[in-house]
Chain A
Amino acid sequence: MKNSLIILGLILIGCNSFAQSKKESDIREIFWGADDKFSAITEIPEEFQNESAVVIYKNENYSYNNFLTKMTTVESVRKRIKLLDKAAVEEFSEFAYKNRFRSSQWLQNIMAGEKHIVGIKVIKPDGSESIVDVESESVEVDGETKIAISNLEPGDIIDYYSYREDLQSSYGARVLIFDAVEAPLAEEYPMMNYRLEILTDNDFFLNFRSFNGAPQLTEEDNGKRGKRLSVLEATNIEKKDFPRWFYPLVELPAYKFQVYYAYSKASEKDALAFLPEKESIVKSEVSPEEIMELYDNKFRPSGNFGMVEDYIKENNITNEAEIVKNAYYYMRHMYLTRFIEASLIQESKISNDAFKYFGYAIILDNEKEFVRYFTSFLKEFDIDYEIVVGKYRYDGSLADILIEQNTKTLLKTKTSPPVYIEFYDPHSDAGAYSHNLDGTEVYLLSSAKRKKIDQIEKSRLPETNIEDNRSHSDLSINIHNDLSGFSVESKHEFYGHEKKSEQQDRMFFADYVHEDYEKFDTEPYLDKVKKKERDQYETELNSLAEKIRTRQKEFFEEKVAAGFDLEEVQDYDYKITETGRFGFEQPFKFTETYNVDNSLFKKAGNDYIFEIGKLIGGQIDLTEKERKRTENIYMPYPKSLVNNLRISIPEGYSIEGLEKLNLSADNSTGRFMSSATIEGDELVINTQKDYKSYYQPNSNWGLIIDFLDTANQFYNAKVLLKKN
């Protein structure tokens, strides 16, 4: 039986049955009433006949209303879908949603809570309709309602709506920022008609923008005083899947919107949002001046930096760029990594109160507060800075800023050299920022007199290149003389953006917290703990560390085996030799040792075919569908992957076919180069695979295929181990 259910939103309240029934019939009238011009459409165009399903009509509705102290928001969707095969029938044959939930505010406001009303009908090819009796045909367990749709067959149309109304008290609320909605128009089935409706009271603000050729929002007369109905309509939307290296919100017709409520003119200023000048204006663009005005309020330096100041002074750091970097790492420790053991002790129930030894523990938890804290420190040290405001590359360009939560903020100090500072994580580097911001256009906000932010200019963040983001793997491979397998000793180094995921995967708290204690000469957590509890904490924390280490080792062992396309390797061990946590250019390094059986040696008479290409690990092996790609190509960042292999040639054997290992494909998008030489009794192989850019137009896809295929050809390459 299939596992997937159509999940229809979240929660609902059980009201008195009469009111609910009236509401249900009202909602039904909205979607399926006399005005429903789509109820007559049962046919689909000829070109869609071979699809799995076709969306005849999709209608999404959002409405926002505040009456006195009652805030009502509604999200609903109606879909009318022609099902053309069993897979589609299977997908739409079961629905599930949660219900009968009372809001936590019910004591204060008996009306608070959510309603979820679902309607489903099936239209047979002869036009006959049957409305599912949701009440009698559903089953409910632990607040979840499930319905299996009766008599649903290929050729039928399923027409359903899910209406979710949320009623909350707005008493005392000064500003409400509702969840942003951001989506491409396309989905997995082709769509004939689409309509998005946003209904707001006149005292709500709306930011909306269409992207990448999506139709514009229009205003429709809705016949209701004091309410604004904004509509986006589209027809004939192609289905879309999402291939590798693709940013849907940059390429596909899409829309984004967000709705805001402010109690008064004065409270508008409290909103962390780019509000329109007045409620009647739908805002679609955000000017640099508006950004400056908003962030002037939100980035006022603030925070207690005394201990950071002491650290800098005690260590006699005088160079401004060095002050910035050192302060960053010190803060990362004082406000994050020194709490990690306590946090784990608490999470793993070793103690219920592991933070008591800190007295007053402050952990910064968002980038804006970090900027306030860090600029407060910079101000104290008279170091000028600019606040960088940008957007991740996958979210569109700087000019597309519309929703404040999509902006990313970091700092650029006016030091020599300038230092970029981003909100930290346990391994982040001073001077670096997310690869998603590399090379993007940004605003630089600054203050002429170190007071109010009063200047804004466009700039572009530096890009990184293949020299910055590189990984090196040196493998020393010793083939057993009896060809029963080989042993591997390897060293791996990761630089720049290449190290981030490796650090996150490979390091856990025991690998780096002591490094910080030593570097900053702070008291290790366990030393703070009273003697009578220390032994317990230490023993149990060590036990936790041992368990994590064991699991990690198993994971890495499987990862190595998968790289060789093998089920397993033997005697695996690894060791982190450099954490790379104090500079973008500092490498993260680890070593590995393991043994591999003879699976890569294929017997050939007295000789052996050696599947030597697999030693560089799996390569992208494009499918026929991928080769026909039509989208532009968005890669994370330029990078260079280097493998150096020294392979002992077993006694009594020589190697033939080295020419198969000398491959080269080099173009403007990337390259793969490999060389193989014999040095004494060793075969030395060097490979380098470079992804040269962040972006390539689809017209260059062939060039990318060229070097990817060459790398894959190396992966498939074999040499002959010939018995002398």
Chain B
Amino acid sequence: MSQFFRMSMFLLIILPTALIAQKHVEPSTEDVQLAGNLKEIFTDDEVGLIDSEEIISFEIDKDKAQVIVHQQINNNLINLESRSDIQIFSFYDSESEITEFEVFSANQKKARYKIMDEAYKDNDLFHNDVRVKWVYLDFPVKAYRYETRVVKEIKDIKYFTKLNFNDQFPARNKKIVVTIPEWLDLELKEINFQDFNIKKESIQLDNGSKRLTYTLENIPAMSDEDHIPGPSHIYPHLLVLPKSYSFEGTEVNLFKDTQDLYNWYKSLANELENDNTSLVEKVQDLTAEADNEEEKIKNIYYWIQDNIRYIAFEDGIAGFKPDEASHVFNKRYGDCKGMANLTKQMLTEAGFDARLTWIGTNHIAYDYSTPNLSVDNHMICTVMLDDKMLFLDGTEKFNSMGEYASRIQGKQMLIENGEDFILKNVPIENANFNTQKETYHLAITGEEISGTVHKTFAGESRASLLHTFNSLKNDRKDDFLSWYLSNGNNNIQVANIRTSDLNNRDTILNIEYDIRIKNAVSTFGDMMYLDLDMEKELSNLEFEKRKSDYQFYAKKNLESTFKVTIPEGYSISSKPQNFKVGTEDYELSINYSEKDGELLYQKQYTIKDPTIKSSEFKSWNANIQQIKNIYNEQIILSKD
């Protein structure tokens, strides 16, 4: 082996290559100015769209007698920072195809960028048919530009549900152009337009088509903030409502009304074989000992909650059609549709009138007055019991029958009713339903506070804690409770924990324990300073920089009482001011008082509407600031 070859085993040798260095065109002064101007508006964004144009047209697929949608998106991107490295992507699935994905740079007619094509992975879905085409783009300097063109074909108009103005990047100008042929009856329903200056132009073309053009300027990117409501609640968009089309002299209904949507859903459900042989025995086991009808339903519902794992396959029609109940039963897993169908079939076997029920969770802003496949995203089961309806969501964990998760409360349901359907809303609970109550009995010893605590949890607060606890490994459960009750704060020591049955989802959850809190009392001379509140709820929810609405997981009601024995020879010399505020959406109060030698600190936070709107941030922030001021203020006990 030659000396050179042996050396090359260890050396990374980089030799000149024949490759031609990429020549980047320097941005023009105008572009630099433009990038600067856009950055002033879109301060958090790396890249902006100078112009974004979405062109929609329709065509009939004569072979399949379906309406095809052609969607072309032209974006003109500009870099707003010194350098950016981004990905541009477009999704497709078994019902759509990306026919063109082109990138043009400022100095090349077509940039040599490799378009990647891979399966889209979603943490919530075990398997889905969505794929993504994407390209990596580097912007070497500020104001560097690219243009992209993506052409997509949606094979069936019913899967084309909305047109958005907001995108991955902010846009100076956004234009949506939809040409509706004479043979197509399609409504574009304007959603959330009220706060935006969207211009609309409608012209009649010579061929009978109608061209609708919507334009909007300076539209921000979609938010990546956490705890935001679903996009249909906050962004302006056009909901696409394809009603019917004419083909070879015949009018073909799409989703002209809710009945059409129901008919399509129902047709999928009707394809099920519903061979329940395998689950009959389990139904008998679950119902044999039940004292009454309600208990039978409950036994079946809880068995499904506890024994069927949520695993979702969204592949083509499986995204809409429930799996056979027997499959879900035998596999012990399924998605919401599979669980809803299993619930229905098990209840049916037990002699109940149970119905499949389509529903959009609170992530979705619509109801069934706008029939379209984006109206719902979930399925539950309705059971008719005497003259009332019970709604059973098998995907919930530790949900008590008759209680409804926040995500579906108030939402309209489309309930199976033979050829017809029933529209009904899930009952709404108030914040008290989720009450978390805590009572501390404390005494001061030196610079430590110790005593006992009693906490109770109801509604969502109970379901959430029970689910978390029961999802943990057996050998971690004790540690978890200590960690949870001490709020992860090592200054708080928790001992002697007593709980009610941590598998019981029907009663108030009770937890009692002993507590020792270090570093909560500071003594200087004859004065003691108490920093009593170790949890300081809401203090991290001051939205100074936040732009989007904030959504709590659920309505909240926290009732907290601290009773602290005032040490002998001491009296309260200073305590924070009491505070109380009430709006339609929330009530917050903090109260300090003294009674029978005890300092009483009470706090009640009731979040009646889980969404704090960005338009309300000013007053919300002022209230949170007051609460923070109180948290920051010490209670002073002075020696008599």
Interface residues of A (CB under 8 A from B): 1, 3, 50-53, 84-90, 93-94, 139, 141-142, 144, 146, 148, 150-153, 302, 339, 348-356, 358-366, 368-369, 372, 533, 535-536, 539-540, 542-544, 546-547, 550, 567, 598-599, 601-605, 609, 621-625, 656-657, 660, 716, 718, 720, 722
Interface residues of B (CB under 8 A from A): 3, 7, 10-17, 19-24, 26, 81-85, 118-119, 123-127, 138, 140-142, 307, 309-313, 315, 330-333, 470-476, 479, 482, 490-491, 493, 518-519, 522, 524-525, 527, 529, 531, 540, 573-574, 576, 629, 632-634, 636
Contact B140 A363 (CB under 8 A): no
Interchain CA distance A194-B365 in the complex, whole Å: 56
Given A540-B83, A601-B632, A353 and B142 touching (CB < 8 A)? no
Hey, which chain B residues are within 8 Å of A599, CB to CB? 632
Contact B24 A540 (CB under 8 A): yes
Closest to A537 in B: B21
* Residue from B16, B311, B525 within 8 A of A353 (CB atoms): B16
Contact A567 B126 (CB under 8 A): no
Contact A52 B475 (CB under 8 A): yes
Hey, which chain A residues are within 8 Å of B474, CB to CB? 50-52, 84-85, 87
Hey, which chain B residues are within 8 Å of A351, CB to CB? 21-22
Interchain CA distance A625-B490 in the complex, whole Å: 11
Which of B83, B119, B142 has the most A CB atoms < 10 Å from its CB?
Answer: B83
Contact A150 B141 (CB under 8 A): no
Supply 25 A–B pairs (Cβ within 8 Å), ascending by A: A3-B123, A50-B474, A51-B474, A88-B473, A146-B127, A153-B307, A153-B332, A349-B138, A351-B21, A351-B22, A360-B13, A360-B15, A361-B14, A365-B11, A535-B26, A540-B140, A543-B140, A547-B82, A547-B83, A550-B81, A602-B633, A605-B574, A622-B490, A716-B519, A718-B529
Hey, which chain B residues are within 8 Å of A362, CB to CB? 11-13
* Residue from A349, A364, A602 within 8 A of B140 (CB atoms): A349
Hey, which chain A residues are within 8 Å of B11, CB to CB? 362-365, 369
Hey, which chain B residues are within 8 Å of A3, CB to CB? 123
Given A356-B16, A604-B634, A86 and B82 touching (CB < 8 A)? no
Interchain CA distance A720-B524 in the complex, whole Å: 7
Hey, which chain B residues are within 8 Å of A720, CB to CB? 522, 524, 527, 529
Contact A148 B126 (CB under 8 A): yes
Contact A151 B313 (CB under 8 A): no
Least distance between B387 CB and chain A CB atoms (Å): 37
* Residue from A93, A139, A660 within 8 A of B309 (CB atoms): A93
Hey, which chain A residues are within 8 Å of B313, CB to CB? 139
Least distance between A270 CB and chain B CB atoms (Å): 9
Given A656-B525, A720-B524, A720-B529, A352 and B20 touching (CB < 8 A)? yes
Interchain CA distance A216-B491 in the complex, whole Å: 47
Hey, which chain B residues are within 8 Å of A361, CB to CB? 13-15
Least distance between B68 CB and chain A CB atoms (Å): 26
Closest to A339 in B: B14
Closest to A139 in B: B127
Hey, which chain B residues are within 8 Å of A533, CB to CB? 21
Closest to A351 in B: B21
Interchain CA distance A89-B306 in the complex, whole Å: 12
Which of A93, A358, A542, A624 has the most B CB atoms < 10 Å from its CB?
Answer: A624
* Residue from B20, B331, B629 within 8 A of A148 (CB atoms): B331
Contact B22 A349 (CB under 8 A): yes
Interchain CA distance A98-B460 in the complex, whole Å: 40
Which of B330, B474, B629 has the most A CB atoms < 10 Å from its CB?
Answer: B474
Least distance between A353 CB and chain B CB atoms (Å): 5
Hey, which chain B residues are within 8 Å of A363, CB to CB? 11-14
Contact A550 B17 (CB under 8 A): no
Given A148-B126, A716-B519, A603 and B16 touching (CB < 8 A)? no
Hey, which chain B residues are within 8 Å of A353, CB to CB? 16-17, 19-21
Contact A536 B26 (CB under 8 A): yes
Closest 9 A/B residue pairs (Cβ): A52-B473, A369-B10, A546-B82, A150-B331, A605-B574, A356-B16, A604-B634, A540-B140, A543-B82
Which of B23, B140, B576 has the most A CB atoms < 10 Å from its CB?
Answer: B140
Given A51-B474, A540-B24, A604 and B636 touching (CB < 8 A)? yes
Interchain CA distance A151-B279 in the complex, whole Å: 13
Hey, which chain A residues are within 8 Å of B26, CB to CB? 535-536, 539
Contacts beyond the supplied A141-B127, A350-B24, A716-B491: 20 A-B pairs with Cβ under 8 Å:
A52-B475, A89-B309, A90-B309, A94-B126, A150-B330, A349-B140, A352-B19, A360-B15, A533-B21, A539-B140, A540-B24, A540-B83, A543-B83, A547-B82, A547-B84, A550-B81, A598-B632, A622-B490, A657-B522, A718-B529
Interchain CA distance A688-B212 in the complex, whole Å: 72
Given A349-B140, A366-B10, A603 and B629 touching (CB < 8 A)? yes
* Residue from A151, A364, A625 within 8 A of B331 (CB atoms): A151
* Residue from A84, A358, A718 within 8 A of B522 (CB atoms): A718
Least distance between B539 CB and chain A CB atoms (Å): 10
Closest to A342 in B: B14
Least distance between A72 CB and chain B CB atoms (Å): 26
Least distance between B14 CB and chain A CB atoms (Å): 5
Given A141-B119, A348-B138, A369-B10, A90 and B471 touching (CB < 8 A)? yes
Contact A356 B22 (CB under 8 A): no
Closest to B634 in A: A604
Contact B472 A87 (CB under 8 A): yes
Hey, which chain A residues are within 8 Å of B17, CB to CB? 352-353, 356
Least distance between B380 CB and chain A CB atoms (Å): 17
Contact B332 A150 (CB under 8 A): yes
Contact B312 A1 (CB under 8 A): yes
Closest to B545 in A: A568
Hey, which chain A residues are within 8 Å of B540, CB to CB? 567
Contact B123 A550 (CB under 8 A): no
Given A536-B24, A604-B529, A51 and B123 touching (CB < 8 A)? no
Contact B10 A657 (CB under 8 A): no
Closest to B309 in A: A93
Interchain CA distance A609-B522 in the complex, whole Å: 9
Interchain CA distance A324-B466 in the complex, whole Å: 66
Closest to A188 in B: B473
Hey, which chain B residues are within 8 Å of A153, CB to CB? 307, 332
Interchain CA distance A150-B334 in the complex, whole Å: 10
Which of B313, B490, B573 has the most A CB atoms < 10 Å from its CB?
Answer: B490
Least distance between A110 CB and chain B CB atoms (Å): 28
Interchain CA distance A50-B475 in the complex, whole Å: 6
Contact B20 A621 (CB under 8 A): no
Closest to A659 in B: B524
Hey, which chain B residues are within 8 Å of A598, CB to CB? 632
Contact A624 B482 (CB under 8 A): yes
Hey, which chain A residues are within 8 Å of B13, CB to CB? 360-363
Contact A603 B138 (CB under 8 A): no
Given A349-B138, A533-B21, A540-B83, A603 and B10 touching (CB < 8 A)? no
Interchain CA distance A601-B529 in the complex, whole Å: 13
Interchain CA distance A339-B11 in the complex, whole Å: 14
Contact A94 B311 (CB under 8 A): yes
Closest to B7 in A: A302
* Residue from B21, B310, B332, B493 within 8 A of A624 (CB atoms): B493
Interchain CA distance A88-B16 in the complex, whole Å: 55
Interchain CA distance A150-B313 in the complex, whole Å: 14
Contact A605 B636 (CB under 8 A): yes
Contact B307 A352 (CB under 8 A): no
Least distance between A134 CB and chain B CB atoms (Å): 14
Hey, which chain B residues are within 8 Å of A535, CB to CB? 26
Hey, which chain A residues are within 8 Å of B19, CB to CB? 352-353
Interchain CA distance A1-B311 in the complex, whole Å: 7
Given A1-B310, A716-B518, A86 and B632 touching (CB < 8 A)? no
Interchain CA distance A141-B120 in the complex, whole Å: 10
* Residue from A94, A152, A540 within 8 A of B141 (CB atoms): A540
Interchain CA distance A625-B22 in the complex, whole Å: 58
Least distance between B534 CB and chain A CB atoms (Å): 12
Contact A544 B83 (CB under 8 A): yes
Closest to A608 in B: B634
